């Protein structure tokens, strides 16, 4: 594993996808819900599709201002090519503390982007110049999908992490008037596109056996 979702994506596509004889259910947001904790916040808003925006805030020369924001109109292709390859990251100054508390024990430069005081230690550098915020958006997509359905709505976040993302999802679920489960009769009606017209367009340069 390399700290991204790409190994899973590559192997799933290599095996192939089987279409089920059932309607796909979607989790549609009907009312806006926002969670704020100090300077961190997340929100889900009604939107006919699934789009996400994320802003991180790190005071570090490698992660400068123009690399800290990313937005995505979600589709199967955009997830595979633009978000899935983004790896998790960490600061070398935090390693001693994490290990002391039994955390990140399996981490290494092979599965984490390691950041020093003023440089990236990984030999091949970054896959995207804004890979850090793309991975945070990947985290958020995973957190939201824990409910088991594709979301129809808009997700926005500032300095968010797993805990506040999960709190947002739990808050939405506990308010039945803010969401509904729906289906569509065919792919053309769905506002989210899942078709992968040609698997050869998938960039497999990130995957190594």
Instruction: Supply the residues annotated as catalytic.
Output: 162
Q: What is the 3-state secondary structure (H, E, C) of the chain?
A: CCCCCHHHHHHHHHHCCCCCCCCCEEEEECCCEEEEECCEEEEEECCCCEEEEEECCCCECCECHHHCEEEEECCHHHHHHHHCCCCCEEEHHHHHHHHHCCCCCCCCCCCCEEECCCCECCCCCCCCCCHHHHHHHHHHHHHHHHHCCEEEEEEEEECCCHHHHHHHHHHHHCCHHHEEEEECCCHHHCCCCCCCCCHHHCCCCCCCC
Residue 179, beta-bridge partner list: 29
For 124, the token pair is 């091949």
144 CB-contact burial (10 Å; exposed 0-12 / middle 13-18 / buried 19+)? buried
Q: Are 50 and 40 a contacting pair, CB within 8 Å?
A: no
């Amino acid at each position: 594993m390399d700290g991204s979702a790409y190994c899973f994506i590559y192997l799933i596509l290599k095996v192939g996808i089987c279409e089920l004889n059932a309607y796909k259910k979607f989790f549609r947001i009907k009312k806006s819900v926002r969670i704020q904790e100090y300077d961190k916040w997340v929100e889900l808003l009604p939107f006919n599709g699934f789009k996400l925006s994320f802003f991180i805030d790190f005071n570090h020369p490698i992660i400068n201002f123009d690399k800290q924001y990313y937005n995505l109109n979600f589709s199967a292709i955009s997830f595979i090519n633009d978000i899935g390859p983004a790896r998790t990251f960490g600061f070398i100054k935090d390693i001693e503390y994490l290990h002391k508390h039994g955390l990140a024990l399996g981490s290494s430069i092979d599965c984490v982007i390691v950041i020093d005081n003023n440089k990236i230690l990984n030999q091949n550098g970054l896959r995207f110049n804004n890979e850090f915020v793309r991975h945070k958006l990947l985290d958020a997509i995973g957190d939201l999908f824990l409910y088991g359905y594709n979301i129809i709505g808009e997700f926005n976040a500032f300095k968010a992490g797993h805990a506040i993302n999960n709190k947002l999802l739990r808050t939405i679920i506990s308010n039945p008037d803010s969401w509904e489960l729906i289906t569509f009769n065919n792919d053309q009606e769905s506002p989210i596109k899942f078709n992968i017209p040609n698997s050869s367009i998938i960039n497999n340069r990130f995957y190594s056996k």
